[in-house]
Structure 1
Amino acid sequence: MSYVAERGALLSTEKDYNHATDKEYQRLRGLADQAYKERQKLSQQSQSSFKTGDKSKAHELSEAAKKKLKEAEDYNLQAAEYVFVANNADSSSNEIDLHGLYVKEAKWILQRRVAAAVKNGESELQVIVGKGLHSSNGVAKLKPAIQELCDEANLNDHVDSKNTGVVIIDLTGARIPVSWDTTDFSTYSQSQANKPSKPQQAYQGQQQPQYQPYAQQQQHQQQQSSGSSSLVDQLLRMLCQCVKNNM
């Protein structure tokens, strides 16, 4: 299910960055967590069956575990889609709100947004990461992860003096890795296990982006490997179109 049409039209006059507390978001993350637990249990049962020589049962349980993993990932993608669209429906054209996203999701989405901003000639991007109030033990996870991402790409960033939950990225003359604009989420997710020590050497400069008609932006692909990419690309195009129209 896509929330673009449902949420995108509801532009609130008062900003609300707390959609990570919405019941729907919590429900989806909860379903993902439950599916992961069931997947772990099935995997353990599969290993036990294999050790006892029942390879047929082991294979059956292994396949069931794979389905549960797919189910968990689908729920997490739906949760990320929900909270990202809800939190950015009322964002300014030079803002992106990453509240409610897991670190891996947030870093990938920000890469796409920064790539679009560089193409569009934007001078800065305000990244709303929050203060970690809803993180476990109150320790912020998004802010240090985003700052690390900027360091890897040699992007100048600083914390907003008026709001410590906002990181401002200076995009003047920025050159970012080409992969930031070309890597889909599933590929990016898998690559994090073998993260390179240095950023890639191929870079892209500022170029004028090509925009799709709004009707095409509304289309949402339902494939798991590109579902998040499709949703994010739709919303980022809309945000960047606002910048283009105001230039």
Structure 2
Amino acid sequence: MAIPLTRLGGGAFNHSPSNDAEAEYDRLRDLARAEAAKRNSCFDRAHQAYERGDGAEAKELSNEGKRHAAKMDEYNRQASEYIFRENNATGRVTDDTIDLHGQFVEEAEDILERRIRHAQQQGQTHLHVIVGKGNHSTDHVQKLKPRVEQVCRELGLQYATEDNAGRIYVNLQGGEAVIPPLPQQPPAQHGEHGGRPQHHPQQQEQEQEQPDALEQLLSKFVRKLGDCCVVM
């Protein structure tokens, strides 16, 4: 599989996408879902034909179902590659970061393995993997994070969840995953009290209520992903 990374709906992007970008991603995933439905219908009818003793029709319907399955895979591949390019474009993530938003679990696994091996060949020491917090998934269960952790274990790499629970730090050198400290904040400026900036209570409340940007973007994607996975 070529390196992919797609989104399902608005929540699969790590930035504010254009309407055209959203439409293209949705178009590809919708086409994949439609082919999956046709595949399932063909296989169901093939089974019914077989039960009737009509082997010829059963074989024909089975072959038709396989063709729809191939088309489904191709549309999903295109969607995965599309979202990968969108989310991991230069300037949107750093060189030591990969964003897996918008990927199906199997797609994310394939992409991550390829990226880890490439990074190791380039002598990179670590990798930040953005997987999302799962706040908008069914029962708030993270789907990508467990698979990312499984990949790391299979490759003998240690990892750790970062302060942002939607990110995983991976040590690419095989040692302990020690997350580097964040850069120090600049010293207090004039007008701050006790080293802390002064905020009005209303401003503090608004800041605390402001959700994580990736959580906002992920919401639409996860709802559609759940629908698609039932079909796929």
2:121 match: 119
1:167 match: 168
Structure 2 contact 101–131 (Cα < 8 Å) conserved? yes
Alignment of 1:21-170 (within 5 A): 22-89=22-89, 90-161=92-163, 163-170=164-171
Structure 2 contact 158–174 (Cα < 8 Å) conserved? no
Local SS of the residue matching 1:169: strand
Q: Offset of 1:27 from its aligned partner?
A: 2.3
Structure 2 contact 127–169 (Cα < 8 Å) conserved? yes
Structure 1 stretches lacking a partner, 5+ long: 5-14, 175-247
- Whole-angstrom distance in 2 between the partners of 1:18 and 1:156: 33
Local SS of the residue matching 2:67: helix
Q: 1:160–1:91: structure 2 CA closer, same or farther, 3 Å change rule? A: same
Q: Offset of 1:17 from its aligned partner?
A: 4.4
Residues 182-219 of structure 1, C-alpha deviation per residue, up to 9 Å, x if partnerless? xxxxxxxxxxxxxxxxxxxxxxxxxxxxxxxxxxxxxx
Task: Name the Cα RMSD after superposition.
Answer: 2.3
Alignment of 1:212-231 (within 5 A): none
Alignment of 1:193-212 (within 5 A): none
Q: 1:18–1:149: structure 2 CA closer, same or farther, 3 Å change rule? A: farther
Work out the percentage of aligned pairs sharing the same amino acid. 38
Q: 1:135–1:17: structure 2 CA closer, same or farther, 3 Å change rule? A: farther
Q: Offset of 1:99 from its aligned partner?
A: 0.5
Q: 1:142–1:18: structure 2 CA closer, same or farther, 3 Å change rule? A: farther
**1:85 partner letter:** R
TM-score (norm 2): 0.63
Structure 1 contact 29–79 (Cα < 8 Å) conserved? yes
Residues 56-105 of structure 1, C-alpha deviation per residue, up to 9 Å, x if partnerless? 22122111111110111111111101111100002211111110001111
Q: Offset of 1:36 from its aligned partner?
A: 1.0
- Whole-angstrom distance in 2 between the partners of 1:155 and 1:140: 20
Q: Which has the larger radius of gyration?
A: 2
Per chain length, whose mean CA-contact separation is higher, i.e. which structure has more relative contact order (CA < 8 Å, sep 6+)?
2
Indicate whether 1:16 and 2:14 are aligned: yes
TM-score (norm 1): 0.60
Local SS of the residue matching 2:43: helix
- Whole-angstrom distance in 1 between the partners of 2:143 and 2:165: 13
Local SS of the residue matching 1:127: strand
Q: Offset of 1:153 from its aligned partner?
A: 2.2
2:7 match: none
Structure 1 contact 126–166 (Cα < 8 Å) conserved? yes
- Whole-angstrom distance in 2 between the partners of 1:92 and 1:147: 21
